[in-house]
């Protein structure tokens, strides 16, 4: 909370209404005619502006002093909710209205906890509501609201939002969502949507396209666009999960003892006839005879239709309800929706077939990740938790909100088998681009096509990753809606995003690498050469194995700045830019490195006086700084490389 002003006007000012209206409208961005109307009111006191920032209040005070105004204008103390992180976790947090009442997000959902209570007097009255003076009165003091503490990890949220924004823009997607959840206790560590909006300016259009057309929209259209901007897609928007739902189908079949992991039980001829419908596999050729493991690795639709047929409708729906997919998760976030499935009695052979590979029903991203967390968490579904405690700001009393186990849906044995299968998807299947150096990762890609009568909705590409797969502590779901770039397949465009996010988030969360990281014995630590003469600094850096770039106009100067900064480790031959105190740092645009080999990427960066940091082997599938971004020369661009075996549905 910050102290702000409430500007009040009394009709005893020494200056004209015209002058006051002109200043008020200019200073507080008000309509002149509205201000004149207020100043001409018969009321003894009128409120001119609320939630006025401190600097505006100070500007008004200076103007009053300059014009010798000593009465008529009061600046009263007021409060306003401010959001120091602007757009970070905006859809989750939400914002308050003019009277500090929660309007969206957690601000609305937890408003009763946050706002406190007004003070009041309790007294006895007669039939005419007059206080009976000889009866005792009781004063109940006002209480401040409680603070709520979120499970969100700020660093993880920032990382997720950075890479989600990059993925949406690079793949020309309409929007995207990332959720990271701890499967052991249900804690939501990250909930991000893009495009996002600024919590401190929630009514401002949030995209360049919307800003251009805003004034041309009707009031109803503006209202619709505004509510869409605020909508938390992670919990409010149902989507068809596609092949990520095969995790659920496989776990049901294993739990019921209907399939084995490594026995050839399924056949893919690419096209399978179900009732009167021909349903195709996503692959361009038949997969042939498959085990369950191979069917999951290859994300084979006909194989999973056959798994669904073994399960049957009634058993399928029993587990759908056990996982809670037709209800809400109970996460206590604003606007949560339920899943939408066919009524059980209306689920025929075709509906069962499409449901088995994740299409023609909708669930929310939060429902899917909660279910996957339960499957890998020894079969125990935990209720998602976003607030882990509240603290009374008057008394300091803390109320803990403990994790809640909803139910055990599958056995520990089935859970262990599923973890093993999901690991195979990343090591040998369509999830190869989701691997993270130093960690055992499991996961599943998903690509859902739009319904025949809703082609305009486009594909949904997704990937759900589990890390470390042998001891799950993090589950990460990435969703990209209607991508219109180089691919629409989850294994190709969503899996690399999961890899980028987890590469940064796992070490930050203190999750120890289990498989050893990239060898860094050959890397060289960059020393600090500021304060040295250019010639001395050049000699020191070149002796260490670096290439020196003089970014000043002479060679006779003392080094004031260097790029990159000292203390980091770089490969031999990396470029170090040196500057004197009067030279600004030179900038270049980051190139597109995706699809290049390591040598090609290194050469392309070095040609622009940029450096490279490498994760993995093969061709570049992602880079931490987006193409076209302006950066200082010497900046390190981190790239993720994977073999060509990854990608797909």
The pLDDT tens digits of the residues spanning 613-642 come to: 999 889 999 999 999 999 999 999 999 998
- pTM for the full predicted model: 0.85
DSSP class of residue 57 equals H
Q: Is residue 607 scored above 90 in pLDDT?
A: yes
pLDDT at 9: 53
Angle at 428 between CA 424 and CA 433, to 5 degrees: 100
List pLDDT tens digits, range 326-355: 999 999 999 999 999 999 999 999 999 999
Query: What residues contact residue 634 under an 8 Å CB cut-off, 6+ apart?
Result: 549, 562, 563, 564, 575, 576, 577, 609, 610, 611
Residue whose C-alpha is closest to residue 381's, from 372, 391, 390, 393: 372
pLDDT at 111: 93
List pLDDT tens digits, range 20-53: 888 888 888 888 888 888 877 777 677 888 777 7
Q: Is residue 168 scored above 90 in pLDDT?
A: yes
* Tokens standing for residue 435: 């691997």
Print burial letters for 11-29: b (CB count within 10 Å at least 16), e (below 16). Answer: eebeeebeebbebbbebbe
Query: What residues contact residue 254 under an 8 Å CB cut-off, 6+ apart?
Result: 261, 292, 410, 414, 417, 418
pLDDT at 136: 60
What does the pLDDT average to over 294-314? 98
Distance CA 562, CA 528 (A): 8
List pLDDT tens digits, range 235-277: 999 999 999 999 999 999 999 999 999 999 999 999 999 999 9
* Tokens standing for residue 348: 């025929």
Q: Is residue 493 scored above 90 in pLDDT?
A: yes
Banded model confidence at residue 58, pLDDT cuts 50, 70, 90: confident
Distance CA 31, CA 21 (A): 9
End-to-end Cα, the chain, rounded Å: 47
Residue 520 neighbours by CB distance under 10 Å: 8
Q: What is the mean pLDDT of the chain?
A: 91
- How far is Cα of residue 220 from the mean position of the Cα atoms in its chain? 28
Q: Is residue 463 scored above 90 in pLDDT?
A: yes
* Tokens standing for residue 83: 């959001």
Distance CA 626, CA 590 (A): 7
Distance CA 159, CA 474 (A): 15
Q: Is residue 8 scored above 80 in pLDDT?
A: no
Say what percent of the chain tops pLDDT 70.
92
Domains annotated on the chain, with CATH: 2-80 (3.30.70.2110), 114-150 (no CATH), 236-508 (3.40.710.10), 524-642 (3.30.10.20)
- Please, are residues 579 and 562 in contact by the beta-carbon 8 Å criterion? yes
pLDDT at 513: 82
- Please, are residues 236 and 337 in contact by the beta-carbon 8 Å criterion? yes
Say what percent of the chain tops pLDDT 90.
76
List pLDDT tens digits, range 554-603: 999 999 999 999 999 999 999 999 999 999 999 999 999 999 999 999 99
Better-scored residue on pLDDT, 70 or 498:
498
Distance CA 4, CA 231 (A): 29
Better-scored residue on pLDDT, 428 or 454:
428
* Tokens standing for residue 217: 């929209």
């Amino acid at each position: 909370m910050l102290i702000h002003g409430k500007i009040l006007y009394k009709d005893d000012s020494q200056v004209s209404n015209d002058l006051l209206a002109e200043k008020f409208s200019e200073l507080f961005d008000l309509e002149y005619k509205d201000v004149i109307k207020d100043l001409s009111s018969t009321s003894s006191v009128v409120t001119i502006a609320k939630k006025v920032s401190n600097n505006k209040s100070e500007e008004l005070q200076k103007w009053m002093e300059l014009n010798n105004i000593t009465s008529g204008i009061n600046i009263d103390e007021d409060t306003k909710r401010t959001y120091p992180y602007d757009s970070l976790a905006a859809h989750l947090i939400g914002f308050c209205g003019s009277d500090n009442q929660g309007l969206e997000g957690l601000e609305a959902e937890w408003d009763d906890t946050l706002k406190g209570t007004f003070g009041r007097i309790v007294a006895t009255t007669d039939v005419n509501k007059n206080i009976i003076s000889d009866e005792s009165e009781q004063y109940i003091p006002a209480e401040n609201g409680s603070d709520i503490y979120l499970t969100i990890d700020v660093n993880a949220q920032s990382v997720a939002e950075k890479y989600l924004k990059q993925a949406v823009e690079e793949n020309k997607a309409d929007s995207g969502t990332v959720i990271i959840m701890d499967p052991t206790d249900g804690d939501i560590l990250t909930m991000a949507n893009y495009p996002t909006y600024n919590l401190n300016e929630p009514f401002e259009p949030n995209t360049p396209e919307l800003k251009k057309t805003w004034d041309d929209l009707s009031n109803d259209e503006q209202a619709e666009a505004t509510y869409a901007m605020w909508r938390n897609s992670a919990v409010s928007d149902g989507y068809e999960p596609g092949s990520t739902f095969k995790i659920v189908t496989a776990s049901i079949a294993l739990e019921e003892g209907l399939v084995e992991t490594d026995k050839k039980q399924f056949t893919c001829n690419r096209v399978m006839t179900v009732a009167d419908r021909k349903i195709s596999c996503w692959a361009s050729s038949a997969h042939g005879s498959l085990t369950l493991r191979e069917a999951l690795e290859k994300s084979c639709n006909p194989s999973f239709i056959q798994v669904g047929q073994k399960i049957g409708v009634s058993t399928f729906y029993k587990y759908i309800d056990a996982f809670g997919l037709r209800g809400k998760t109970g996460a206590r976030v604003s606007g949560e929706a339920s899943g939408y499935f066919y009524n059980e009695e209306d689920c025929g052979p075709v509906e069962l077939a499409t449901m088995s590979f994740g299409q023609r029903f909708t669930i929310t991203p939060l429902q899917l990740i909660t279910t996957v967390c339960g499957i890998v968490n020894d079969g125990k579904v935990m209720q998602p938790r976003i607030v882990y405690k509240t603290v009374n700001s008057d008394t300091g009393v803390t109320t803990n909100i403990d994790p809640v186990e909803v139910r055990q849906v599958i056995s520990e044995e089935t859970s262990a088998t599923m973890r093993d299968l999901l690991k195979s998807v990343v090591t040998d299947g369509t999830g190869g681009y989701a691997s993270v150096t130093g960690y055992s990762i499991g996961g599943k890609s998903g690509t859902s096509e739009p319904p025949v009568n809703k082609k305009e909705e486009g594909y949904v590409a997704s990937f759900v990753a589990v890390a470390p797969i042998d001891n799950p502590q993090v589950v990460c779901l990435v969703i990209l809606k209607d991508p219109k770039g180089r691919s629409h397949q989850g294994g190709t465009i969503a899996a690399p995003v999961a890899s980028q996010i987890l590469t940064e988030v796992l070490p930050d969360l203190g999750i120890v690498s289990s498989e050893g990281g990239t060898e860094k014995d050959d890397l060289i630590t960059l020393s600090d050469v500021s304060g040295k003469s250019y010639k001395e600094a050049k000699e020191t850096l070149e002796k260490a194995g670096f290439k020196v770039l003089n970014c000043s106009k002479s060679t006779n100067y003392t080094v004031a700045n260097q790029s990159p900064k000292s203390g980091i480790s770089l490969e031999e031959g990396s470029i170090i830019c040196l500057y004197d105190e009067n030279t600004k740092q030179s900038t270049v645009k980051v190139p597109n490195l995706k699809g290049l080999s390591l040598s090609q990427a290194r050469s392309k960066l070095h040609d622009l006086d940029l450096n490279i940091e490498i994760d993995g082997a093969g061709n570049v599938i992602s880079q931490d700084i987006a193409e076209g971004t302006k950066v200082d020369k010497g900046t390190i661009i981190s790239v993720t490389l994977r073999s060509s075996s990854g990608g797909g549905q």
